[in-house]
Amino acid sequence: MDRLVNTVRPYAWGSTTAIPELLGVAPTGEPQAEMWMGAHPGAPSRTERGSLNELIAADPVRELGQRSVEKFGPRLPFLLKVLAAGAPLSLQAHPDLAQARAGYAAEEAADIPIDAAHRTYKDANHKPELICALTPFEGLCGFRAPAEAADLLAALGVDSLKPYVDLLHAHPEEAALREVLTALLTADPEEMAHTVAEAAAAADRLGGAHVPYASLAHHYPSDPGVIAAMLLNRVVLQPGEALYLGAGVPHAYLSGLGVEIMANSDNVLRCGLTPKHIDVPELLRVVRFEPTDPAVLRPEASETGEEVYDTPIDEFRLSRFVRPEGAAPTDLTSPAPQILLAVAGRPKAGEVTLAAGESVFVPAGERTELSGTGTVFRATVVA
């Protein structure tokens, strides 16, 4: 197996303390948003044998196993991260596989540079993802019932929001949500800035359920995403709880530290809370305008002590082991590739002792035993 040296991405929304605290190092004072573990070309993990993407490219069957290569191609299908949100991330959604392939092909045919600011599709893959909380973790996920969103907006008492409130009481609900989000994203910027300012002042005054939106406006003054965020369910995860985010589900992470796993893709369609490009027509094509009750996932324990987060896709499978003192070793040998990430204690993967925040890549078929005390996340595929 290979001990991984991982890149920490310094995005502006990152916490300055959460990842350093996990790693047991002094903060630098700069934001540290995401630590990437995997073979993504943007920031591949490094090993003593070379970068992980180079190792896989040189011999994909050896590193990934025959079944994984046949099913997903000659690349690691997932990307594992530690995510530390010190400020809200952009409101966003992800395409399904067919949408990603069509969108990527269209932008390639139009000769839009892959790094262009207005480019939407960076690759031809979908991007389902799972976030598991390590600390209390706050986010937005999926549309509320429109009547609930209407009540939240109406309570602000802002005249310019009344047309949106009226629209949210219309039927069918999916059409009402589509019309309101479209109106928000295509409104006159100066008028919207005034509306957001009034709404933020009212939210600050009201407190309670409106507190998160006053905070959003503090980070993103004049952004229509502040109003759009009120259309979504607010969710607070406790440590060990998780959310699965499938295609078309609008969401945003607001605060907290978590372990995130996703299909290996960069495809993001932004809805707001960002200075970056918003492709409104494509966003409206991808978003699923249906009210949902966000299902908080809790892991299902097996006889081996492995606690699995059940998701409906095959590109990744996330589980964890919470190992008490004196626990018997667990055989993790698998025909699929694995990344093991310690988040507490000093467990051992084979002969490698892992401190919190340290990880290893285990090639397919390599004999692996987990021992010692601590908490370990296991990322692999369903092949």
Angle at 354 between CA 349 and CA 355, to 5 degrees: 160
Residues 98 and 322: their CA atoms lie apart, in Å, by 38
- Contact of 249 with 129, CB cutoff 8 Å: no
Residues 344 and 188: their CA atoms lie apart, in Å, by 49
Residue type at position 99: Q
CB atoms within 10 A of CB 280: 13
Helices 146-154 and 173-186, packing angle to 10 deg: 40
Residues 272 and 235: their CA atoms lie apart, in Å, by 18
Residues 110 and 332: their CA atoms lie apart, in Å, by 46
Residues 359 and 300: their CA atoms lie apart, in Å, by 23
Convert 308-341 to b/e letters by CB count within 10 Å (16 or more is b): ebebebebbbbbbbbbeeebeebebebebbbbbb
DSSP assignment string, 164-202? HHHHHTSSSHHHHHHHHHHHHHHS-HHHHHHHHHHHHHH
Q: Which of 144, 270, 320, 378 is catalytic?
A: 270
Q: Is the peptide bond before 347 cis (omega within 30 degrees of 0)?
A: no
CB atoms within 10 A of CB 7: 15
Q: How many residues does the chain have?
A: 383
Assess whether 367 carries a catalytic annotation.
no
- Contact of 77 with 263, CB cutoff 8 Å: yes
User: Residues 367, 62, 82, 122: what is their CA dihedral angle, to the nearest 10 degrees?
Assistant: -160
The catalytic site residues sit at 270
